[in-house]
Amino acid sequence: MSLETLSENRSFGGTQGVYKHKSQATGTDMTFGLFLPEEAQHGRVPVLWYLSGLTCTHENAMTKAAAQEWCADAGIAIVFPDTSPRGDDVADDAAYDLGKGAGFYVNATQDPWKPHFRMWDYVVDELPALLTGNFAVDGDAMGIAGHSMGGHGALTIAMTHPDRYRSVSAFAPIANPTASDWGRKQLTAYLGADEAVWRAHDSTVLMTEKGYPGEVLIDQGAADQFLDLLRPEALAHAMMARRQPGQFRMQPGYDHSYFFVQTFIGDHVMWHAERLL
């Protein structure tokens, strides 16, 4: 699989790169960011996946989350995939919460989305194979995290494939999309009207039915302007009912922005590092 280097910059002793490749999953060119710590010059390192939220590309968290210094200190890589396929022939919608920038980390089965919107396969299968084949990352030592729509993706992917991800965390995840306007609209568009199909992409449902074999870390801003759409209480109740090991932290005064993510990114990186190293 051909890989094009768009940029590489020295960062905290390591390298922050941006790369482009032709994706078989989406049928489009896809761009991702990858930070490799200095340790990657001497052997394979664990890798943390960071899934971004609505309207984001690979670049938002890469430049705003301030994760590189923490990853350099821990000696782990971090990868920033895009949130959806891109291109002139890719279906889109005028709303910011559907189409480009809003792939929701599912494999679409409905027109006009199904030819390209296969972000689940891209994140879970294709991009990990590309990384391990081209960079010094350890595909057997992976953690996954995300923010908002990306938190939804991280939790659902980790609970579906706990054998692949040793650790999972989320910032303000869309926690109960089958019961929220941030979810019902997109799941209907991408997956159709059968709500039973949606359940595989709802972290509250998955927490109730199967949970996660390790600990889970979730941070939620108590002043988040999207609380009614995120429905964190549903996931918190499911965790308590299941007695799921981990932490669900309501952070007073914090909103949904990258300032919130920056504040707690160190906790999340070190949480993953402790479980990956």
Active site residues per annotation: 148, 224, 256
DSSP state of 166: S
Round to whole Å and give the CA distance between 67 and 83. Answer: 18
DSSP state of 162: T
Round to whole Å and give the CA distance between 261 and 148. Answer: 10
Round to whole Å and give the CA distance between 48 and 139. Answer: 10
Side-chain-side CA neighbours of residue 54 (13 Å): 18
Question: For 234, phi and psi rounded to 5 degrees?
Answer: -65, -45
Q: How many CB atoms lie within 10 A of CB 264?
A: 18
Round to whole Å and give the CA distance between 243 and 215. Answer: 11
Is residue 158 within 8 A of residue 251, CB to CB? The reply is: no
User: C-alpha distances in angstroms, 142 versus 128, 145, 147, 175, 233?
Assistant: 9, 10, 17, 22, 28
190-217 in b/e form (b: 16+ CB < 10 A) is: bbeeeeeebeebbbbbbbbeebbebebb
